[in-house]
Structure 1
Amino acid sequence: MPNDARLRKPAEFRAVYEGGRRFDGRLVTAFVLPTRLEQHRLGITASRKMSRLAVNRNRAKRLLREAFRLTGGELAVLRNRYDWVFNARRLIIEEKADAVAADLRRIIAQVGRNEKPSPCETEK
């Protein structure tokens, strides 16, 4: 994933948490904020509350990155571009990438149903 497609700074994460919408899945909680950028950006968190073992937290982050990559077709259909923050849940540790991708597809479908005109369209 290219660096410009990632959320890295705490201020970027904070903006999504404070200004975005929350969507709960079985394996992940997603916070979504519409942007004016040309591409979606992704931030992932896996806290110690989710798992005390770093190997499990790292696996959760890898699974979420791969699932986000696999759902690129569904993301392209969305009218707006978004900043996404995924918070991994405990259940994700025992799941395969296909199950994580299916959970993200359900969340993306929810986002699509709740879409409003993009920030660019409202200024015209």
Structure 2
Amino acid sequence: MKNPTPAGPKPKRTQRDDHQHDDATRQILKRLQQNPRANVDTLKPTQAHEISPQSPFTVQADVRALEALQHVSIMLKSAEEVSDEITELASGVERGLVWSLVHSVEMARSLVDALLKGNGIDPEKTHPTL
């Protein structure tokens, strides 16, 4: 006989601080608004940044903005490919949620790639899989 209720309690959602970058983003936007002729070359390089206390990974210091954008483009391309694969396996509401994720990642990558193209970098040559 099929059990009408799931076995065990529903897993709790992980609490996230989705606003952890708001101050940094606001500072960058304010600086760019104050200097409308500013471009990506006027951005300071990265500061070392721990992803989370539980993660062994960090962002290195002194990565130039264009180089960081190239890496972001590659990561977004990977996320897009993984999301596409997951969409094929999903159904119902999950499939719609994953498609939403795919579209958000595609838009983000398009924006980053347009910035790279505007700075004379061909994103197609940045992606080793293309």
TM score, norm. by length of structure 1: 0.27
**More relative contact order, 1 or 2 (CA 8 Å, 6+ apart):** 1
More strand per residue: 1 or 2?
1
TM score, norm. by length of structure 2: 0.26
Q: Which has the larger radius of gyration?
A: 2
